[in-house]
Every structure is written in C-alpha cells, then in structure tokens.
A = this chain, B = another copy of it.
Amino acid sequence: MTQRVTQPSRRVARKASSGTAKTSGALDTLFGALADPTRRMLVERLLTKGPTTATVLAETTPLTRQAILKHLQVLEAAGLLAHERAGREVRYRVTPQPLASAVGWILDTAGQWDDRIDRLRRLTT
C-alpha cells in the first residue's frame, strides 16, 4: 500500500524554507478531488445508483475504464470512496464523511463574515 504521506513537495526554489510548512493535505486532496466535474459526476452516480465497478461506470461515459479508474482512485485518496472486492469485480461506494471537513473549513473561514453562510451554518449544526 505504501501510503505515501509525503507532502506535495511544493518546489519553492529560492525564497523557501522556514515558512509554515502548512500543507494541510487533507483539504488539498479533498477540494482537489471535488474540482473535477467527472469526479463529481462519479460521486453522484455512485450515490444515486449504488456501488458499482469502474468498468460499468466507464460504459456510460466517453472515457476509458483506465481514466475512470484513475478518477476513482483520486476520490478514494480523498476519503470519498471505498472499494471492496467481490470475486473478480471491484465495487466502489461513496463514503461521504470527509465532506464534513470541507463544509467545516468553509463555515469556519467565511462564517463570521457572511450572514448567508452564517445562516447556513446555523441550519446545518
């Protein structure tokens, strides 16, 4: 599995070093995963039609299975999917818990400033 926790490497070159490594990787990969329309579509599909395989998902898109698989892996790396093996098939399902962190960041940062967001927060907590 190799995990690969290493940070994004940010190749800062010159001014670099010493400054707030930051790299809150979880939000990076989470927002990054959501930034692609194909991936959001995959999440929606898996939610509405239930768990299924990369092969099946690829049949209804203009993309190849490999492209779909890469997207599924990105989503899984973000914690939004999990997969389980069933015979020779591999089925993916949505695990939407990480979405709470995304909403959390948004509400925490913008909450105090925007009444609309603030109302939303009160609505959802």
* A residues neighboring B (CB under 8 Å): 1, 3-4, 12, 15-20, 22-25, 27-28, 31-32, 34-38, 40-41, 43-44, 47-48, 55, 58, 61-65, 94, 96-97, 99-100, 102-103, 105-107, 109-110, 112-114, 116-117, 120, 124
Contact = CB atoms under 8 A, between A and B. Distances in A.
Given A64-B4, A106-B99, A23 B37 contact: yes
Contact of A18 (B41, B62, B105): B62
Nearest to A24: B37
A12 B25 CA distance: 29
Given A1-B55, A35-B28, A100 B112 contact: no
Determine how many copies of this chain the complex contains: 2
A62 B61 CA distance: 43
A35 B40 contact: no
Most-contacted residue by chain B among A28, A35, A102 (CB, 10 A): A35
B113 A96 contact: yes
A103 B100 contact: no
